Amino acid sequence: MDMDPHVSGVLPVRLAGTQPPVFFVPTGYGDFSYVSTLAKEMEVDSPIYALPWPSFKDRSLTLEEIATHTLLTMKKIQQRAPYRIAGYSSGAILAYAITQQLLRFDETVSFLGLIDAPLPANSPKRSDAEIILEMVFEPLESLDDERFELLQRCARNSSVPQLLQKAQEIGAIVAEADFYETVETYIHFQHALLNYQVPSLQVEIHQFYASELPENFRAGCTPDATEAKKIAPMHGWDRVLNPEAIHAIPIPGDHVTMMAVPENRRILARALSLCLSSTPHPRTIGP
Q: Which fold has domain 11-120+198-278?
A: Rossmann fold (3.40.50)
Q: What is the pLDDT of residue 29?
A: 84
Q: What is the pLDDT of residue 8?
A: 76
Q: What is the pLDDT of residue 124?
A: 65
| Distance, CA of 182 to chain centre | 17
Residue 281 in this model has a pLDDT that exceeds 60:
no
Residue 231 in this model has a pLDDT that exceeds 70:
no
Lowest mean pLDDT segment, chosen from 16-25, 74-83, 136-145, 277-286: 277-286
Residue 177 in this model has a pLDDT that exceeds 50:
yes
Residue 174 in this model has a pLDDT that exceeds 90:
no
CA-based nearest residue to 9, from 73, 94, 66: 73
What is the rounded CA–CA span in Å between residue 127 and residue 162? 13
Higher pLDDT, 223 or 235: 235
Residue 280 in this model has a pLDDT that exceeds 70:
no
Residue 258 in this model has a pLDDT that exceeds 60:
yes
Compute the mean pLDDT over every residue in the chain, rounded to the nearest whole number: 85
| Helices 160-169 + 145-156 axis angle, to 10 | 160
| Distance, CA of 215 to chain centre | 21
Q: What is the pLDDT of residue 2?
A: 53
Summarize pLDDT for 267-278 with one digit per residue, the tens.
999 999 999 998
Nearest 5°: the CA angle 13, 248, 222 is 85
pTM to 2 decimal places: 0.86
CA-based nearest residue to 105, from 68, 76, 74, 69: 68
Q: What's the rounded mean pLDDT across residues 91-120?
A: 95
What is the rounded CA–CA span in Å between residue 28 and residue 46? 25
Domain ranges of the chain: 11-120+198-278, 128-192
Q: What is the pLDDT of residue 230?
A: 56
Q: What are phi and psi of 149, to 5 degrees?
A: -65, -35
Summarize pLDDT for 9-47 with one digit per residue, the tens.
899 999 989 999 999 999 988 888 999 999 999 999 999
Q: What are phi and psi of 148, to 5 degrees?
A: -65, -45
Tell me the three-class secondary structure of the chain, residue by residue. CCECCCCCCCEEEECCCCCCCEEECCCCCCCCCHHHHHHHHCCCCCCEEECCCCCCCCCCCCHHHHHHHHHHHHHHHECCCCEEEEEECCHHHHHHHHHHHHHHCCCCEEEEEEECCCCCCCCCCCCHHHHHHHHHHCCCCCCCHHHHHHHHHHHHCCCHHHHHHHHHHCCCCCCCCCHHHHHHHHHHHHHHHHCCCCCCCCCCEEEEEECCCCCCCCCCCCHHHHHHHHCCCCCCHHHCCCHHHEEEEEECCCCCHHHHCHHHHHHHHHHHHHHHHHCCCCCCCCC
- Percent above pLDDT 70 for the chain: 85
What is the rounded CA–CA span in Å between residue 171 and residue 165? 10
- Determine contact, residues 216/259, Cβ cutoff 8 Å: no
Instruction: Report the half-sphere exposure of 28 (CA within 13 A, side-chain side).
Output: 22
At 55, the amino acid letter reads S
Q: What is the pLDDT of residue 135?
A: 81
Lowest mean pLDDT segment, chosen from 1-15, 38-52, 124-138: 1-15
Q: What is the pLDDT of residue 183?
A: 84
Q: What is the pLDDT of residue 225?
A: 44
Q: What is the pLDDT of residue 198?
A: 95
pLDDT bracket for residue 245 (50, 70, 90) = very high
Going by their DSSP bridges, the two strands 246-251 and 205-210 should be labelled as parallel
CB atoms within 10 A of CB 123: 13
